[in-house]
Structure 1
Amino acid sequence: MPQAQKSFALGATLEKAGGGRRKTSEQRASMRSSSKFRPSSADDSNKLSPPKMALVKQDNGEELMIKPEAITPNINTADWPLLLRNWHQLLVRTGHFTPIPAGCTPLNRDLKSYVSSGVINLDKPSNPSSHEVVAWLKRILRVDRTGHSGTLDPKVTGCLIVCIDRATRLVKSQQGAGKEYVAVLRLHGKLPGGEAQLARALETLTGALFQRPPLISAVKRQLRIRTVHESKLLEFDNDRQLAVFWVSCEAGTYIRTLCVHLGLLLGVGGHMQELRRVRSGAMDEQSGMVTLHDVMDAQWLQDNQRDESYLRSVIKPLETLLTTYKRIVVKDSAVNAITYGAKLMIPGLLRYEAGIEVHEEVVLITTKGEAIALGIAQMSTVELSSCDHGVVAKVKRCIMERDLYPRRWGLGPTATTKKQMKESGKLDKYGRPNEATPAQWKQEYRDFNDPNGPNGTVLDPNHGTEPQAAEAAGAKEGMPGRGQEMPSKQDVEMAEPVAPVPTEQEPAPVAAAAEKTEKKKRKHEGETAEEKAERKRKKKEKKEKRASKAAEDDDSD
């Protein structure tokens, strides 16, 4: 076949094939367009269009809505850190609140805030005193304040809780917590009854005991009562006359005195040879106890290599000390008001723990697990679940710094009106009524923070209600009481004006101090040297007694 005929036949074949392909694509497009607008049957809809996820079709053609699953996701909050642990066990007052993007969880604070709100469970070495160890820590970490809860004698080792900066506010709360010790007792003779005799003596010295501090002690040697909760004999060697025992006791118990009493009770005598504290409050030997070298190495690593992981493992957040308290969760909008000393009211309550009793010490926390303050509960758990208004807790010790959360109080209608009246001069700068205050405001506004009552009348719980107190005050001043007749308007108008009685002006503070000094001189005028020495001696004894009473709260071993 010639070349021209071959090319013509090939072109016709390609044109025929291309036309067939174009026709096929046009047919597909028309089929798609027709199927799009054509009403489809049930079978076609199942084949061509995507299924409707919100409907369920049964065999009879009836459409039903898909019901949501009744299974709630199982969230295990037992592993949540610190004050958020077992969050699901808290009782819910309301779930309606607006989260505020302020604050953070205790473990995610920046390093400066983490250190300044941290505590260290320190393994105190033997020989240096507790105050020396705390001073060394302050110099190593370069912080402003440090404090420790529960003093240990120089020779005693073990758990010493050191609080840094803001955490020093929790020192008092940890000083009164229970303590546990392991002691080595040296007996002055062999026991005929052996280990059983010593175990019986330990069991006898349990409960409330009379103790007098040792001869060498930091406090005055006065007889006092301390409670030993439990004791247990760990090891005994009658040949070497040595015993090791564990004791759980109240803060301020002298284990040295307890060992002397054990020796007297056994009839052979004894003394304490060695002592170690294994628990202090919420911290024990297993809760990340560190040494002074650990703290120094962690600070060196942060200063030279900018590695803060070691320092974060050495220092714990202050919330670690509060895990034994019952929790009350507060809305974010109420946090800043509490840091300024406001009471927690029912509208600011989110969740609370079961078993709260009135006047029990609780911890107020945020939804992120931050400790706001230690408070005294004003309602029990039953009242919290049923009351619509009232005071939930009063602040005992504020922990969180102010203005970490934004200020959200003073935005209500009454507070806004009061602010406008102060600006316009209808109230004084303290919000109290003056001459320009409208009468309606004086009648309707109730200031519950005023000690004189909402309307200016003195509220005395010992003298009945407001009208009774006002009536009693009027009768005292010669005004008619309940049984007397009120004077008429004419009598009041025709009465002669009474001149005001001049009152003595109170002396100035300087004049009062000078008068007090002159009075003292006149009192001691003419006394002999012996009388003066006796008076000074009594004054010194009184001052020492006051100082020893204050030092009794300090825990020493």
Structure 2
Amino acid sequence: MSQIKDPCQKAACAIQKCLQGSKKKAKKRRSQILGAEDVADIQHEGDFLIKPESKVAQLDTSQWPLLLKNFDKLNIRTAHYTPIPSGSNPLKREISEYIKTGFINLDKPANPSSHEVVAWIRRILRSEKTGHSGTLDPKVTGCLIVCIDRATRLVKSQQSAGKEYVGIVRLHNALENELQLSRALETLTGALFQRPPLIAAVKRQLRVRTIYESKLIEYDPERRLGIFWVSCEAGTYIRTLCVHIGLLLGVGGQMQELRRVRSGVLGEKDNLVTMHDVLDAQWQFDNNKDESYLRRVIFPLEKLLVSHKRLVMKDSAVNAICYGAKIMLPGLLRYEDGIELNQEIVVITTKGEAICIAVALMTTAVISTCDHGVVAKIKRVIMERDTYPRKWGLGPKASQKKMMIQKGLLDKHGKPNESTPSGWKQEYVDYSATPKIQQAADAPKRKHVSETDSDSAEPSTLKKKKEEHVDNADSDAATPVKSSKKKKKKDKGGDTENETAAHSEKSKEMETAGSDEGETVLKTKKKKKKDKTEERESPAEETEQASESVKKKKKKKKETAD
């Protein structure tokens, strides 16, 4: 019986569960029906609004890439500008543009020279131009920044950036303590005199180089080898530094091995790449059309400018700067704290592209207080022209100027004339005009030019005087009778016959004056030709005289010798 009871109980339990489930579903349906009915009441009774808050939700731009990192912390001059759908984020450029505006942080192998390595990379990537951030000797390894095509514009600034090295020095004799070597390294900090080593392909001229910091990492007394780290100025010779360490210790020393650990902003840990990586990445792109490897090997040039202070410009001002316009305050959107006079800064777009490297002419404090003026002057333009459209000449002042030119209130070049209103002359500042200081500097040059002009004008005045002299002589020769007759006239008390004769002679002279003038012009021309021929002949005569004098001297010498 027990076997029969069990299935019945199971069936009863299943039925109960089904009934309970159906009840729950019915409740849900009722609640849904009730909810749908009461929606209007809930909406009528409830308060639905965006409540005001004292805090504004801030963007977290700490993870934004390259030059846009922490851009929300920049000072805002104005937030109003018209975005232009040109250009792109440096990381999202097309692969052809990406390569042209990129650089490689290369781990240079030992034995080939820096120029050879750069030439190989140019051949692998099939690019037009490549440059590097400072020559490494053939045996030296480490960071070598290779700039491609448009990024070569930054090569000069990278070459002058600071460098860091790890080297091995071999001492010729043993030392008593390891401390002696560390003290010698400490003494060789600051400005040092250096003469390039014999191996260097540079003029061996004494020069001053600064070593900022140095420390001893390890010393092996058995093999007399010391490993040290140095942070120094560009152009420092570590080979000569090792020789100087040996001289200071009195045991002598030489460099055994060297590796560059950092070049400018980039170090060993900042995506260092080998030659094989570059070759493989290009092969993947050529055969499998896979860009990802090239994008990991090559980086946008903006990464080299991360340490510079930033100015963010409006999209409408970008192309004007590419054409060499001054960086003015009205085109500025944001600026960074701590900008000092004559500091090297980078000018960027709203998308984070580098437009140019510039030299600051205003500090952060001045920028915040002024509303017009030149913020910075361009040092090196990086962006290609016409990446953004031309937008100059469309502003309020420029359009007003065009209207005034049409009405005739300004001349065709936009400069004030007689009908220009006085208010325009006072208000309008022409930044393209040279300042008074520059004009004052140019004044002595102009005087010098005028003096040279006057010197060159002297011969022409002399010629004129000569011509006048010739004319006077001809006229004197033509009128001897006239003067004698005047004397007779005075003597005789003025006879009528003499007077009539004098009048007739005067009329004849007037008639012949035209012909005399023509003759004098011809005579002067002939004289000029004669003078020229004489001038041409004179140097030949002088050379003949000189040769004759030399011959005479030789004869005298022979006679004295005999």
The two structures share one fold, judged by TM-score above 0.5? yes
Which one of the candidate residues 231, 252, 261 is aligned to 2:214? 231
Letter of the structure 2 residue corresponding to residue 376 of structure 1: V
Contact 2:215 2:228 in 1 (8 A): yes
| 1:311 matched to 2:294 | yes
CA distance in 2, matches of 1:110, 1:161: 22
CA distance in 2, matches of 1:369, 1:53: 49
Matched with 2:463 is: none
CA distance in 2, matches of 1:358, 1:426: 39
Are residues 67 and 54 of structure 1, via their aligned partners in 2, closer, same or farther at CA, if it must alter by over 3 Å? farther
Q: List aligned pairs for 1:333-352, cutoff 5 A.
A: 333-352=316-335
The CA RMSD over aligned residues, in Å, is 3.4
Matched with 1:182 is: 166
Contact 2:409 2:421 in 1 (8 A): no
What is the Cα deviation at residue 412 of structure 1?
3.0
Are residues 313 and 263 of structure 1, via their aligned partners in 2, closer, same or farther at CA, if it must alter by over 3 Å? same
* TM-score normalised by the chain length of structure 1: 0.69
3-state SS of paired residue (1:155): coil
CA distance in 2, matches of 1:367, 1:266: 56
CA distance in 2, matches of 1:49, 1:102: 52
Matched with 1:269 is: 252
How many residues in Structure 1 have an aligned counterpart in Structure 2? 419
Are residues 293 and 53 of structure 1, via their aligned partners in 2, closer, same or farther at CA, if it must alter by over 3 Å? farther
Are residues 177 and 99 of structure 1, via their aligned partners in 2, closer, same or farther at CA, if it must alter by over 3 Å? same
Q: List aligned pairs for 1:156-175, cutoff 5 A.
A: 156-175=140-159
Question: Cα deviations across residues 28-76 of structure 1 (Å, max 9, x unaligned)?
Answer: xxxxxxxxxxxxxxxxx986345269947xxxxxxxx763233332432
What is the Cα deviation at residue 374 of structure 1?
0.5
Matched with 2:126 is: 142
Contact 2:327 2:377 in 1 (8 A): yes
CA distance in 2, matches of 1:180, 1:259: 15
Question: Cα deviations across residues 450-497 of structure 1 (Å, max 9, x unaligned)?
Answer: 5566xxxxx246969xxxx9xxx9xxx9xxxxxxxxxxxxxxxxxxxx
Q: List aligned pairs for 1:289-368, cutoff 5 A.
A: 289-368=272-351
Which one of the candidate residues 31, 35, 56 is aligned to 1:72? 56
Which one of the candidate residues 40, 54, 64 is aligned to 1:48? 40
Matched with 1:153 is: 137
3-state SS of paired residue (2:420): helix
CA distance in 2, matches of 1:227, 1:52: 78
Which one of the candidate residues 53, 71, 81 is aligned to 1:97? 81
Q: Which runs of 5+ in 1 are unaligned?
A: 1-44, 57-64, 454-458, 478-500, 507-517, 528-557
Are residues 191 and 291 of structure 1, via their aligned partners in 2, closer, same or farther at CA, if it must alter by over 3 Å? same
| 1:121 matched to 2:105 | yes
| 1:440 matched to 2:420 | yes
CA distance in 2, matches of 1:53, 1:154: 83
Contact 2:106 2:275 in 1 (8 A): yes
Higher deviation after alignment, 200-209 or 388-397: 388-397
Q: Which runs of 5+ in 2 are unaligned?
A: 1-36, 460-535, 547-562
**Structure in which a larger fraction of residues adopt helix:** 2
Q: Which has the larger radius of gyration?
A: 2
CA distance in 2, matches of 1:410, 1:140: 44
Matched with 1:34 is: none
Contact 2:408 2:419 in 1 (8 A): no
What is the Cα deviation at residue 417 of structure 1?
5.8
Contact 1:93 1:350 in 2 (8 A): yes
Letter of the structure 2 residue corresponding to residue 174 of structure 1: Q
Contact 1:55 1:66 in 2 (8 A): no
Which one has more relative contact order, counting CA pairs under 8 Å at least 6 apart?
A: 1
Contact 2:410 2:420 in 1 (8 A): no
CA distance in 2, matches of 1:115, 1:203: 43
CA distance in 2, matches of 1:352, 1:99: 18
Letter of the structure 2 residue corresponding to residue 448 of structure 1: D
